[in-house]
Amino acid sequence: MFAVLPKNPFKKRTLYYKILFYITVIVSVSVLIVSALQYSYARDNSIKQINDYSTESLRQVSYSAKLLTDTARNMLSQLMLDADVFALINDTTPDEKEIVTGIQKLDTFKNSLDFIQSIYVYNRNNSTFYSSLSSQSLQPEKEFFDTELVSMLKHPDNIKKSIPISRKILLPNVPQDERNYIDIFTFIYVDKGSNGEVDSAIVINISELWLREVIQVINSEKLGEIVVVNHTGKVISSNLTYSQVKEVERSAGLKQILRSGEPSGDLTAAIGENKYLLNYVSLDNVQWKLIRITQYQEFTKQLHQQLVKTIIFSLLIMLTGAVLSLFLGRMVYRPVDSVLSHLENQLFQSKSDRFELKHTLLRKLLLSEELDEKKLESQLQKFGTPFSIETEVVLVLFQIDNFQEFCNKYNSGDRKLMKYALLNIASEIMSSLYPNEPVELEPNQLALILEVDHNTETLSTEAFKAAIADIQQSVENYLHLTLTTVVSNSGSLFFEAGKLYQQAIERSYYKFDSGKTSIIFCDEMELKSAQEYAFPQESCKIMVDNLMLGRYEDSLQIFKEIIESTRGFSLSTIQTVLSKLIIHISDAVEQINKNAGISLSVHLNTFITHVTSAETIADVYSEYEHLLEKIQTLSADKKSGKHEELITTVNLLIQNGHEDVNLCLGSIAESLGMSSLYLGRIYKKHTSKSVSDTINEVRLKKAMDLLKETTLPISKIVASSGFANDKYFFTIFKKLNGITPTEYRSNARKLPDHSM
């Protein structure tokens, strides 16, 4: 055994020392690389999780802010309709009772919601402010404490009803100190006269502190800070210090967010001397941006520490491996296995490279790239293909149906494996008829190049069609994919391969007509010239008119007729027609959106995206039907919401005016400027009872309360409840309760208090 050892065994052992040491280095470097990749993945994942959490929390704040602003706008509408407030706004000299009642109504509205700080009403006729603040309930314009508001009302053109104004006000009757100022959002409704000056105004002040408390509750995990900025970039609500607010307002990140037209997003930017992750959501109805500011170091510090530990661990492995190499090198004398393994890897790599080079060559042929004729012949032989440059070939093109869904379902690595399996299945099945080579082309296109050797008769045989059907069925069974197949005409490999490919691509348009999983033979299909098609402009106009008028079935039918008129034309023609239809439909939807006040932008964008990527006519029809359903549903919901608001207003008028004996359906309809017939029908439809029934119910409830709680004569109770005469009151009362008013009062007094 020892006789076979080399004369200088130290040199032999040095080889093994190096091998083991290199292995150690490779392992250590691999650990570092894997750790770096894991670090990158963990960092990206952390950012994603923070982005997801931030976006969700910002949307919650956005919802609360929208609720706040929408409530303020609704309250402005209610105040405008309120009779008591109307008297304060428009009467030149309201009497004392009207003033007291109106101010009490302002106080009632103010106390109805926690976040309302105060409500003002301004009457220019008497230059007076009426306020829900007890100390400022009635003040002349010149003495009103909110001088900034007084100044604003002198320039009404600068006031936007729908946009809240962020400002600070000094509470009345307190020292002028910074601590006595409070932050508010002011909503103003002004009524201007013919001279452009303010005749009257309603002002609602919302407490900014309420919004900050909402943000604190939602941001309970204390991950970063949430700030609210307006369209000018001013921070209008936050828990930051004054210096921090100024840094945010000066930052390039905030300017980038304000310039962005996106409704939400995220970016990394410096604020001051530190790096931050900024997530934002837009609140377009008030032109606000909700921004979460998270210091980058908060979520990367632990990852950095882990990376440092990994580097130290890798260095320890390397050092330990170097020491062990000195000892193990004396015993390791079997390098042959590693050498053979290395050779096998080289051989495998050589085969893989050879396979890829062959496919690259065939792709170039089909894509009509310039190739040298003599060199091509040599390469075809070198790669072992069944072709020569003069070989007669046929191209079988496969397109993966529902390709977007395929991409969403599988990552790039899985898609590559599935395409490889698809080509193997197709090549193996078709090899029983023709020698072939599989080629991957565009992302959704794969092909077989068949050597037909001037014998194309079999292309029309049942055996060839059965082979294609077998390929489609096998791919569906094993890979759960469906294919549309296009068979080109025959031609020379070198001179006509690109032409055959373009021919197959053009004829693949028939999938749009014939549907998915179809088999298309190019020699059976002739495309019409694009010049032969004239876009039906008049039909398109009628389709759009029906859409605007809510005749959705008619609009859909004409849409289908226009699409049907493109049958037999090229793909470019149908795409041009679809583009024109999309433009007309988009204009109509935007007009509907504007007229009806409904949000259709998201559904319109989805419709455009899906139609432009549709694979068949059925897909296009389905997308337009879906858009029409959304328009119909949103329009119906909007109409229903208006009716509910009307019912609420009528009920409020009845509650406040039931004592008036003249209160009836006609008087209520007249006060609302509506037809009594229409109002009665709407009210009956939504409440299942008439306006008169509701008036009688409210009056009877008031009368029953007075019978139980007072000793007033019944005649006075009848008058104060709003009934026209005693006889009618007795009839209605007995019909509802089964006893007379006198009997009801007697029974109520006999019962203990908790029983009444």
Structure tokens at 423: 């080509």
* Both tokens assigned to 605: 């964008």
The pLDDT tens digits of the residues spanning 186-210 come to 889 888 888 888 888 999 998 888 8
Predicted pLDDT of residue 115: 84
Of 559, 560, 506, nearest in space to 528 by CA: 506
pLDDT value of position 5: 38
pLDDT band of residue 754 (cuts 50, 70, 90) is very low
| Token pair belonging to 85 | 């407030």
Residue recorded with tokens 């029409």: 628
Q: Which is more confidently placed, 575 or 639?
A: 575
Model confidence at 349: pLDDT above 60:
no
Contacts of 486 (CB under 8 A, 6+ apart): 396, 397, 399, 504, 505, 507, 508, 520, 522
Contact 679, 650 (CB under 8 A): yes
Helix (H) or strand (E) holding 395: strand 392-400
Torsions phi, psi of 264, nearest 5?
A: -155, 165
Nearest-angstrom CA–CA distance, 376 and 361: 8
How sure is the predictor about 341, in pLDDT bands with cuts at 50, 70 and 90? low
Cα–Cα distance for residue pair 607/613, rounded to 1 Å: 10
CA distance 133 to 111: 11
Amino acid at 623: E
Q: What is the mean pLDDT of residues 484-511?
A: 80
**At 367, which amino acid appears?**
L
pLDDT, averaged across the chain: 79
Which pLDDT value is given to residue 4? 38
Cα–Cα distance measured from residue 102 to residue 89, given in angstroms and rounded to the nearest whole number: 10
Q: Residue 100: what pLDDT? A: 87
The reported pLDDT for the residue numbered 498 is 80
What SS3 state is found at 393? strand
CA distances from 721 to 215, 310, 624, 665, 701 (A): 48, 85, 57, 17, 9
pLDDT of residue 755: 42
List pLDDT tens digits, range 269-287.
888 888 888 888 888 777 8
The percent of residues in the chain predicted with pLDDT above 90, rounded, is: 2
pLDDT of residue 454: 56
How far apart, in whole angstroms, are the C-alpha atoms of residue 578 and residue 566? 10
In one letter, which amino acid is 314? S
704/330: higher pLDDT: 704
User: pLDDT tens digits, residue range 240-266?
Assistant: 888 888 888 888 888 888 888 788 888
User: For position 303, what pLDDT does the model report?
Assistant: 67
Least confident of 48-62, 629-643, 682-696, 720-734: 629-643
Quote the pLDDT of residue 474.
92
pLDDT at 308 over 80: no
Residue 9 has pLDDT above 60, yes or no: no
Residue 511 vs residue 80, higher pLDDT: 80
225-229 and 235-237: which strand pairing?
antiparallel
R_g over Cα of the chain: 40
Q: What pLDDT was estimated at residue 425? A: 92
Residues 464-497 as b or e (16 or more Cβ within 10 Å = b): beebbeebbeebeeebebbbbbbbbbbbebbebb
- The structure tokens listed for 229 are 């900025």
pTM for the whole structure: 0.39
Confidence of residue 736 (pLDDT cuts 50, 70, 90): confident
Q: How confident is the model at residue 126 (pLDDT cuts 50, 70, 90)?
A: confident
Highest mean pLDDT among 64-78, 633-647, 697-711: 697-711
Give me the mean pLDDT over the 724-731 stretch. Answer: 85
Q: Is the pLDDT of residue 336 over 70?
A: no
Better-scored residue on pLDDT, 106 or 641: 106
Q: SS3 string of 451-513? A: ECCCCCHHHHCHHHHHHHHHHHHHHHHHHCCCEEEEEEEEEEHHHHHHHHHHHHHHHCCHHHH
Q: Which residue has the higher pLDDT, 227 or 301?
A: 227
Structure tokens at 631: 């328009």
pLDDT of residue 1: 33
Residue type, 497: A
CA distances from 493 to 377, 423, 426, 447, 559 (A): 11, 20, 20, 14, 43
Output DSSP code: residue 706. H
620 in Cβ contact with 626 (< 8 Å): no
Q: Within the chain, what is the greatest distance between any pair of CA atoms?
A: 137
pLDDT tens column, 379-391 = 777 777 777 777 8
Please count the other Cβ atoms lying within 10 Å of the Cβ belonging to residue 552: 17
Of 10-24, 73-87, 409-423, 438-452, least confident by mean pLDDT is 10-24
What is the pLDDT at residue 6?
A: 42
